Amino acid sequence: MKCIQLIALCTVVCIACGGQPHGPKAPAAAEAKLLPARLRVLSSAELERALSELLGSSPPVAGRLAKEIRQAGYTRNADQPWLPSDAVRWDSISREAVNAALTQHFAKLWPCPAANPTPCRDAVLDNWALTAWRRPATGEERQELQALWSLGAAEGDARGGAALVLTALLQSSSFLYQSELGEAISATETRLDPYETAQALAFTLSGAPPDASLLSAAEAGRLRKGDERARAARSILGRSNTRHHFRRFVLEWLEVDQLQDTAKDAVRFPAYDPLKQSMLDETASFADQVFITRGASVDAFLTAGFVSVDADLARFYGLDAMGPQVSSAKTARLGILQHASVLAAHSHPDITSPVKRGDFVLRRLLCKQLPRPAELGLEIVMPVPKPNETTLQRIERHSNDPNCSYCHRQIDPVGMAFENFDASGRALAANEFGPRSPEPWQFNGEDVQLTDSMVLARWLAARPDVHSCFARQAFRYFSAQSDPGVETAFLELVDRLPESKRSNLIEMLVAYAASDLFVTRRRMP
Amino acid sequence: MTRTPAHVPPNRSRRRFLGALGAGIAVSCLAPELRAERERKGAPLRFIGAYLPHGCAYELWKPDADFNLRRPDSSLAPFDAPETYGKSFKSQLLVIDGLDLAAGIEVGTVGHEAARVILTGSGAQGKGASIDQYLAQDCLLGAETPLTSLVLAVGNDATDIGSNLSYTSLGTPVPKWIDPVRVYDELFGQPLSQLGQAELADQRRRGRSVLDFARRDLARLQRRAALGERAKLEQHGTALRELEKRLSPAARPCNAPSRPDRAQFPKLRAFGGGEPNFEVVTELMTELLARAIACDLTRFATIMLPDLSRTGLYPELPADLHAEVAHRYSPRTEHGPGLPQTWQLLGLQNRHSYGHVARLLQHLDEAGVLGDTIVYATSDMGDPSRHSSRNVPTIVAGGCGGHFTLGRHLDLRRTKGDALFPHNRLLVSVLQAFGVQRDSFGSAPSSRTTTGRLNELVL
């Protein structure tokens, strides 16, 4: 089967222009509703924080380890292996970190007296192991650490001993992996032990290892009950140092986190390159504001009437004011969908892309995955654009092709709603963009008149399936895994919340932390 | 680039080394007689896989009937240009016309995603290794060198399936090096080799203690983990072995190039302002790669070459090669004559890419290792305007250890008609050249796609 792709809008992500679509995979009846008992390699950001927790400081890790392999678009990925190249790079980073820490604050790290240091040494080593591994060392491990220290500290060189032990801890798999193996509670299930629970709470909710108070709670057995975990979760979520974790979720959910790796036609969009960081900062800052003041609800993400702009972006948006919450009433922007970062990330370098923008909304807000042309055996021929052709005219050629029309009737009108923004995210005057189709968009049997993207944003914010999709997307990020069965279990958990809390990410995560789903794992063969 | 002596970190004796790695089991993937022959000859075979962007302008790529590559607009002209590349490599070149990335086509992994298919012979959901990693890691042929393998790219260190050639046995991409300085330091600048003997011995002792500790910790975790997680932890074990190799530097006579000067390429990434530096970075990468092979620092490597977008190298090319050249290529078909001006633009990109491959061959030849190297260069597409992964432009170059009949154009299109001709057969043939006992590679719905070698490689 061949399809003539009649718009010059497809690049990497081509949307199917034919055949029968298939929506999100429905979970099979026998699908597991628990996460598997697993080991997860810490992400670069988590490694940096874990280093800092142990040593008091950390060199930057994110740019030095290889980029994470993504699952469902998210960098938190439980299937990520630790590869030889990771080990080589980590070896260099961790040695550098240990050397720097021992040089900068050796006395703080090693408070033991020179005379009769052994009792103090053992206590310090125990504490290091607890911090690095997020659990106490076993007797065997303690002996090994003490032997390592003795080897490194030959001839009384405490610094050498400390360096060897810290290096070994940082190379150990107990440091590099978050364990969610659990202890068997039945033939098919395991349950996280108290320290694994502490790790799960900390890494899931803050992207960082557990601090001393959480480890103490684990030791005291105060994380076994749901309400205890809910309290711990609220405490973690209330800290300002968890915000980075939510910012990253929002940036990855919106697929803008790699905006720095994009380029625009420098002649048409000279302002774009210097503005990329401001655009990213806006989305991150907006996420903070929604998290702090709106409970991270999807309604607020979609319809909050403010922008978070620095001076440069304010000028780009045509605003006089700058700050974290500047009213967007005088602009064509509402919520997060009209952020310049989002509009630019889902455009081509030279022109807008209703296909990319529409596809983005369907995939990330409605969780509707349409097949790509290749999956339908379609070959795409890119036409040469005609200079005087409007975007609508290019787009409408889809509807003339029976192979293309089924999917593109769903995609294109959504993308066309954003046509009052150019490929760099700048708002266009009415005479700068072409017409939209007067035909209503049909979605699941409903006629929707998408006069612009603010209408779309309000329509999305009111839909239960968008709220459910948001919960699904969040779960993929925070749980580091995409599994339809477990996602369904999470959505059922969310559905049991009072209606006022169902769209609130903080409440969802607290409920998750308190649930059996959070601490129970599927035993794997 | 001037040559300066460098200390290079090679390995202990092979037997001791393989013994330490438990190599006995994995090496069994080699046929015993071939392994014996390989050891007797002492001339190990090497493999380099190269990715070239944007398919090809077939009209300019296909060699003439007499295998003439010197036609002025021939994309393959660099292989017969002694005035530029020191000698002609025509006699060490096999141009294969008509291979399809069938394992990808069968499951919809085509076009920009088909880089995944090239060396794995599998689509997006495949879980197998690429042949470079299979040979280096799974068959332990990379255990004999300080670096098990070398995975390079220019301008793009992304981890999506369209940006990677090398994959582990878990099916995940192997991270790529894109910074020539980092590659140089990795290959030639190991700090341990700068130390005095006593200090070096002490460092090794401490390093081994750390690794022993890490290994015991890993073993404890493996005992608790389920089968699926153990595969992940086995990869971790491989990672520890890679670290162990680095503890064994010893003097080895080898000329290293001088350390690249970062001022030559202040930016490295595509879309991040790196494009104007891609030419110099590519030249450095091909030279470093050739030196790594020549110094026997590794025997398995891959490299992803960039396109000419925003490099400013050719005034006649638009800034965006992807949208404005690849998408607009209009081939000659049974339905029409096509647009020759579009062939010329794409042909320029192709010829430039092959120039880098020819330069790599030149470096390998000058180092005396070309004869035992298989260079396999291809693209994710044939006709880029269709995003089609049929008829991908394929070349095999280097001496290939005498395993293939070179210096010719192998035209598979004549016989295949509309059927797919799976490139997996080439992968199987490469594996067999290394002595691997298997007659299939990769995964696809049809076992016929993954099974069988490319008999036509040998006349």
Q: A144: which chain B residues are within 8 Å (Cβ-Cβ)?
A: 213, 216
Higher model confidence: residue A158 or residue A374?
A: A158
Give the minimum alpha-carbon distance from B432 to chain A in angstroms, rounded to a whole number.
Answer: 26
Cβ(B225)–Cβ(B233) under 8 Å? yes
Q: Does residue B193 register a pLDDT over 90?
A: no
Cβ(A452)–Cβ(A297) under 8 Å? no
Share of chain B above pLDDT 90, in %: 62
Cβ(A40)–Cβ(A180) under 8 Å? yes
pLDDT at B38: 64
Q: A525: which chain B residues are within 8 Å (Cβ-Cβ)?
A: 226-228
Which tens digit of pLDDT belongs to each residue from B376-392?
A: 999 999 999 988 999 99
Q: What is the mean pLDDT of residues B208-227?
A: 93
Give the minimum alpha-carbon distance from B340 to chain A in angstroms, rounded to a whole number.
Answer: 15
pLDDT at B206: 87
Rounded to two decimals, the pTM is 0.82
Nearest-angstrom CA–CA distance, B173 and B158: 10
Radius of gyration of chain B (CA): 22
pLDDT at B40: 66
Is the reported ipTM for this assembly greater than 0.95?
no
Q: What is the mean pLDDT of residues A18-26?
A: 39
Q: Does residue B3 register a pLDDT over 80?
A: no
Tokens of A428: 């266009």
Q: Does residue B4 register a pLDDT over 50?
A: no
What band does B172 get if pLDDT is binned at 50, 70 and 90?
Answer: confident
Give the minimum alpha-carbon distance from A434 to chain B in angstroms, rounded to a whole number.
Answer: 22
Which tens digit of pLDDT belongs to each residue from A484-508?
A: 999 999 999 999 999 889 889 999 9
Q: B237: which chain A residues are within 8 Å (Cβ-Cβ)?
A: none
The DSSP H or E segment spanning A101 is helix A84-109
pLDDT at B403: 94
Which tens digit of pLDDT belongs to each residue from B21-40?
A: 333 334 457 766 666 666 66
Q: What is the mean pLDDT of residues B229-242?
A: 89
CA distances from residue A157 to A117, A161, A523, B452 in whole angstroms, order as listed = 12, 7, 46, 62
Q: What is the mean pLDDT of residues A168-192?
A: 96
Higher model confidence: residue A30 or residue A165?
A: A165
Q: What is the mean pLDDT of residues B288-294?
A: 95
Residue whose pair of structure tokens reads 């779309």 in the numeric block:
A456
Which residues are paired to B373 by β-bridges? Answer: B46
Residue whose pair of structure tokens reads 């790290």 in the numeric block:
A109
Residue of chain B with shortest Cα separation from A10: B323
Report the mean per-residue pLDDT for chain B. Answer: 87
Higher model confidence: residue B314 or residue A89?
A: B314
Cβ(B9)–Cβ(B193) under 8 Å? yes
Nearest to B228 among A348, A349, A524 (CB): A524
- Distance from chain centroid for Cα A344: 19
β-strand pairing of B255-257 with B3-5: antiparallel
pLDDT at A303: 96
Which tens digit of pLDDT belongs to each residue from A412-421?
A: 999 999 999 9
Nearest-angstrom CA–CA distance, A8 and A4: 11
CB-based contact A87 B172, cutoff 8 Å:
no
Q: B310: which chain A residues are within 8 Å (Cβ-Cβ)?
A: 263
CB-based contact A167 B210, cutoff 8 Å:
yes
Give me the count of residues in chain B.
459
Q: Does residue A28 register a pLDDT over 60?
A: no
Share of chain A above pLDDT 70, in %: 92
Share of chain A above pLDDT 90, in %: 67
Lowest-confidence region among A167-181, A393-407, B352-366: A393-407
Report the mean per-residue pLDDT for chain A. Answer: 88
pLDDT at A27: 39
Residue B358 carries which DSSP code?
H
pLDDT at A4: 39
Which residues are paired to B375 by β-bridges? Answer: B48, B397
Lowest-confidence region among A404-413, B34-43, B58-67: B34-43
pLDDT at A8: 37
Residue whose pair of structure tokens reads 């000279």 in the numeric block:
A270
Contacts of A266 (CB under 8 A, 6+ apart): A272, A273, B319
Tokens of A376: 């339908």
What band does A60 get if pLDDT is binned at 50, 70 and 90?
Answer: confident
Q: B106: which chain A residues are within 8 Å (Cβ-Cβ)?
A: none
Give the minimum alpha-carbon distance from A211 to chain B in angstroms, rounded to a whole number.
Answer: 23
Which tens digit of pLDDT belongs to each residue from A255-305?
A: 999 998 888 887 889 899 899 999 999 999 999 999 988 888 999 999 999
From the list A273, A289, A234, A170, the residue with the least C-alpha distance to A506 is: A234
pLDDT at B196: 63
The Cα angle at residue A113 between residues A107 and A119, in degrees rounded to 5? 110
pLDDT at A51: 95
